[in-house]
Amino acid sequence: MAESLLRRALLLGIGALSWSRERAEALVDELVGREDLDAGARESLVQALMERGRRDEENLRAFVSEQVARAVRTLPVATKEDLRQLEERLRAEMAAWRKAGPNGED
- Predicted confidence band of residue 1 (pLDDT cuts 50, 70, 90): very low
pLDDT per residue over 54-82, tens digit each?
887 788 778 888 888 887 778 888 889 99
Residue 9 has pLDDT above 80, yes or no: no
Percentage of the chain beyond pLDDT 90 is 18
Taking the domains of the chain in order of start, what are their residue ranges?
Answer: 2-100
3-class SS string, the chain:
CHHHHHHHHHHHHHHHHHCCHHHHHHHHHHHHHCCCCCHHHHHHHHHHHHHHHHHHHHHHHHHHHHHHHHHHHHCCCCCHHHHHHHHHHHHHHHHHHHHHCCCCCC
pLDDT of residue 38: 74
- Please compute the mean of the pLDDT values over residues 76-105 and round it to a whole number: 89
pLDDT of residue 40: 76
- Predicted confidence band of residue 105 (pLDDT cuts 50, 70, 90): low
pLDDT of residue 2: 43
